[in-house]
């Protein structure tokens, strides 16, 4: 269980770092992605985009 939580947390960190490039493709603005401002800082929790990207990686892994 803890491995899955750690994997999701690391995936969110990587996704957040790559977000400026991925926003040009429309990823990060899906329904289910939570955006809010806290203490003047914009915070994004890309749940739907993370699931979509992980499904894409699973499909690619199954093909290879």
How much is the pLDDT for 59?
Answer: 92
How much is the pLDDT for 39?
Answer: 92
The count of structural domains within the chain is: 1
Mean pLDDT, rounded, of the chain: 83
The span from the CA of 58 to the CA of 37, in Å, is 32
User: Over the chain (64 residues), what is each successive 10-residue block's mean pLDDT?
Assistant: 82 78 77 88 83 86 88
**Can you say whether residue 42 is alpha, beta or left, with left for phi > 0 and alpha for psi between -120 and 50 degrees?**
beta
How much is the pLDDT for 64?
Answer: 84
Residues spanned by the domain of 39: 2-63
């Amino acid at each position: 269980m803890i491995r899955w939580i750690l994997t999701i947390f690391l995936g969110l960190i990587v996704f957040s770092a790559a977000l400026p490039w991925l926003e040009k493709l429309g990823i990060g603005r899906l329904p289910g992605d939570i955006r809010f401002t806290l203490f003047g800082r914009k915070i994004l929790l890309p749940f739907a985009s993370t699931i979509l990207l992980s499904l894409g990686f699973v499909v690619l892994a199954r093909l290879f």
